[in-house]
Amino acid sequence: MKQYIVLVIFIFWFSYYLLTEYNKRSDFKDAYNSTKQELLTQKNPTYIPSKTIYADEITSEDKIVHVQKTEKVHLDVQFYPQSPFGKWWPIFEDTCEEASVLIAINYMRWKTMTRTQFRDELLNIVDWENKTFGYYKDTGVNDTAIILKDYFNFLDYKILENPSIDDIKYELSQKNIIISPFFASNLNPNYSWSWPDYHFMVITGYTKDSFITHDVWTKQWEDYYYNQNTLYNRIHDFDPIDIENWPKRLIVLKNKD
């Protein structure tokens, strides 16, 4: 009899958990869908760096694609997830862009943060975005570049249009760090309920067959290895209607050392 009662309690608890999780994801999905039309009617920011080039770099048309003969590059980059304390407040479901930018900026400026400082700075960025853009969710490459330029006063970056795998490896071999958007549904088997569908993460290195990332979705994915082709094929800038087929674009932050 006691085992029967325990089984009933477990079934009830598990059903409640599934229903709660489903409602949570449904609410998030509904909120996302409700912003689509609003995003489409937003005016583009005045500053749109479509192809920012370093001053000391030759033109992209003349660039010789060359990857240093380094079998592995792995940058030493401090990591925190987009929900720094693992508390999934609604705001932290949409801070992958902000977390990725903050991780990259801290690397470029040799700065480390406590977990509390990281959380507070994420909230500061969100507040600035709401005042500047009128929103903070699902910021694409252009908006993210504006955060670098206007919030962090960081100018040594460029946007790569339709980069190749060799382009990405070359930048990493120069100790440059990369932040990139992805069409993420089912990209990682550990994402719950096939979310997030649009995601930013930091690319910190590569091996022969893998890209090394700081995937900010969870605290467990510091230095997470993705198959190179799999990750490359998912690089997509944000479009609220056709999120799966938008152009490949990413941001490279230049290391001056």
* pLDDT beyond 50 at 95: yes
* Range name among 6-20, 76-90, 209-223 with the lowest pLDDT average: 6-20
For residue 242, being part of any structural domain is answered with yes
Residue 249 belongs to domain with CATH number: 3.90.70.30
Q: Which domain holds residue 222?
A: 48-253
* Short-list 129, 112, 157, 131, CA closest to 249: 157
Average pLDDT over residues 200-214: 94
Residue pair 164/207 in contact (Cβ under 8 Å)? The answer is no
Distance between CA atoms of 181 and 222, rounded to whole angstroms? 17
Average pLDDT over residues 188-197: 62
**pTM, to two decimals:** 0.72
Identify whether residues 11 and 98 lie together within a single domain. Answer: no
* pLDDT beyond 70 at 172: yes
Distance between CA atoms of 75 and 177, rounded to whole angstroms? 8
Give 179's strand partners.
202, 251
Identify whether residues 95 and 182 lie together within a single domain. Answer: yes
Distance between CA atoms of 154 and 71, rounded to whole angstroms? 30
Q: Where are the alpha helices (DSSP H) in the chain?
A: 2-34, 36-41, 96-108, 115-132, 141-146, 165-173, 228-233
* pLDDT beyond 80 at 107: yes
Say what the pLDDT of residue 205 is: 96
Residue pair 178/251 in contact (Cβ under 8 Å)? The answer is yes
Q: What type of residue sits at position 227?
A: N
Cis omega before residue 49 (within 30°)? no
Identify whether residues 127 and 235 lie together within a single domain. Answer: yes
* pLDDT beyond 80 at 59: no
Residue pair 147/129 in contact (Cβ under 8 Å)? The answer is yes
Say what the pLDDT of residue 198 is: 72
Total of domains in the chain: 2
Identify whether residues 129 and 166 lie together within a single domain. Answer: yes
7 versus 103: the higher-pLDDT residue is: 103
For residue 132, being part of any structural domain is answered with yes
137 versus 131: the higher-pLDDT residue is: 131
Q: Structure tokens of 17?
A: 């958990």
Helix (H) or strand (E) holding 197: none
For residue 41, being part of any structural domain is answered with no
Say what the pLDDT of residue 88 is: 73
Identify whether residues 78 and 105 lie together within a single domain. Answer: yes
The predicted-structure confidence for 32-48, as pLDDT tens digits, reads as follows 344 333 333 333 333 33
Identify whether residues 205 and 239 lie together within a single domain. Answer: yes
